[in-house]
Amino acid sequence: MTRKKTTAPDPRQHSRLVTDGVKQTPSRAMLRAVGYVDGDFDKPSIGVATTWSNITPCNVHLDGLAVAAAAAADGAGGKSRIFNTITVSDGISMGSPGMRYSLVSREVIADSIETVTGAQGFDGLVAIGGCDKNMPGCMMAIARLDRPAVFVYGGTIRPGAKRRDIVSVFEAIGGHANGSVSDAELHEVEATAIPGAGSCGGMYTANTMASAIEALGLSLPNSSAQEAVSATKLEDCRRAGEAVVRLVKAGIRPSHILTRKAFENAITVVIALGGSTNAVLHLLAIAHAARVRLTLDDFTRIGKRVPVLADVKPSGKYLMSELIAIGGIRPLMKRLLDAGLLHGDALTVTGGTLGESLAGAPDYPAGQAIVRPIADPIKKDSHLVILYGNLAPEGAVAKITGKEGLRFEGTARVFDSEEASLQAILDGTVRAGDVVVIRYEGPKGGPGMREMLSPTGAIMGKGLGDKVALITDGRFSGGSHGFVVGHVSPEAAVGGPLALVRDGDRVTIDARKRVLELGVSAAELKRRAAKWRAPKPYAERGVLAKYAREVTSASLGAVTDLEPAKAPAARRKR
């Protein structure tokens, strides 16, 4: 029998094109000026991409984490270089025109990491993200480049006074509007909710995406469940620096890890944790970058058999730090694996399988109340409900835990911007029984698909959380809760049915039937559509205008690197 000849991976597959040979002498001369010596040119070149800035507490500490990862990569036999990319703060820009740039930043981050890594010939990559769009941006770049890589999460913030977090502040605004929170109390909440570095403290988008990435296999065990300011997070960075060098030498690339099974694992973990609706948008985008077919209907298929188990904020009681204290997400993943809900044979950046990495994971301590047993879930199926109907032919994403009820029928109260809706909520125009419709906030129409934390926070703060529903072609913060439906597709700005809703129309949201329906006849909708005219674009030049021209539907992940003529048709069904 003749054995097939195998070729060992070249650990300098990319860097040698930049540094080897006489013709690349100028490259080596430049690199000597930033610290290279003779022996360094024979080592794999490792890029460490950090989204550090002091713009936001989520990212303010990432420079130190990057230094730790780089030093560890050097110690493992690589030669590292640190580079930076942008971040924007959702929490700071929320409710303002600046929030239009949030989802845009995901694309800029992905493009910039791809650009630097490709230009400099890095053989491996450590990417460090701390805020909502940093993480999917890093992952999209990693998937596109397909070079050995490890993602590091910057970690969660510690709780503020009285277990407060950023959502406490948004909801206090609603309380202030209805008189239950005084000026002094509002100031006290403002001054104590955010105590230092780290990402927002509930199972909001940052912690959701960190958990999803660990389930995908692209971060090391426990990376998603560590406080930002902790010895364990520094150790995570050191382990990542060492791991990427091992991956380079072994020739293990993201395409070996980011399989369909990996994405199914990520969806499963997001559901079990009660995670953010943004995970739907971002996992679709990462899958697109990885050339893995993933659709909205995969979330429905998986969601029918995966329960919600974690009683975490925003809809639950507990913060991420409290989940970390009882063991993080590893015991949860082990339970899911033992129940046959995870693919244990999926490869991870450890070099082994998910099942192997979970083999020794301990269970949660007896008596803890944060994570429920699979046999006694908070909800027996997913809280992420994909809805279709005459209001959402291409789909919409609802976050319905069951605490809000499973069906809402009410009267449309229509707003053409987030600002107009917020004013109406705070001044009492919005009342019990209303379905707040916020449109022209989609990927193209916003542009940038703003998050509606200000309106949803005001609704909860005013005590209307179980009395008012909200639907939008925009997004929701991971901190939003209540009867909310986002990502309505096609969006209003391209003539989607949301553009045709009028005040007083009846709207039905049914999580059991997975329906989002407008109580208006097809003939009437056709008459309204004939009179509809697209609004003037918000931006006519610059990055927002470019984004609006290029971005696809939310049902496809709102990506910008898909030619419209080649874009797959979204499924249309009731």
Active site residues: 477
Angle of CA points 106, 297, 568, to nearest 5° = 65
Contact yes or no for 496/473 (Cβ under 8 A): yes
For residue 516, the 8-state DSSP code is: E
Q: Which residues lie closer than 8 Å to 62 by C-beta, 6 or more apart?
A: 50, 51, 52, 128, 129, 130, 154
Residue 551 CA to residue 539 CA, distance in Å, equals 14
Tell me if 52 sits within 8 A of 109, measured CB to CB: no
Q: What is the edge-to-edge ordering of all strands in the sheet holding 45-50? A: 79-84, 45-50, 124-129, 149-153
| Count of CB atoms situated within 10 Å of the CB of 297 | 13
Count of other CB atoms within 10 angstroms of residue 263:
25
Residue 399: count of CB within 10 angstroms of its CB: 27
- Could you give the 3-state DSSP secondary structure of residue 426? helix
Q: CB–CB of 436/470 below 8 Å?
A: yes
Kindly tell me the burial class for residue 9, based on how many C-beta atoms sit within 10 Å of its own C-beta (0-12, 13-18, 19 or more): middle
Give the span between the Cα atoms of 459 and 312, in whole angstroms.
Answer: 20
Q: Are strands 407-415 and 434-438 parallel, antiparallel or unpaired?
A: parallel
- Report which secondary-structure segment, H or E, holds 84: strand 79-84
- Classify residue 181 by its DSSP letter: S
Closest to 197 (Cα-Cα) out of 51, 322, 61, 52: 61
Which residues, in sequence order, are bridge partners of residue 484? Answer: 399, 470
Q: At what angle do helices 296-303 and 260-272 cross, to 10 degrees?
A: 60
Query: Is the alpha carbon torsion for 58, 59, 64, 70 positive or negative?
Result: positive
Distance CA 505, CA 411 (A): 6
**Residue whose C-alpha is closest to residue 552's, from 500, 509, 508, 490:** 490
Query: Under 8 Å CB-to-CB from 52, ≥6 apart: which residues?
Result: 59, 60, 61, 62, 63, 66, 84, 87, 128
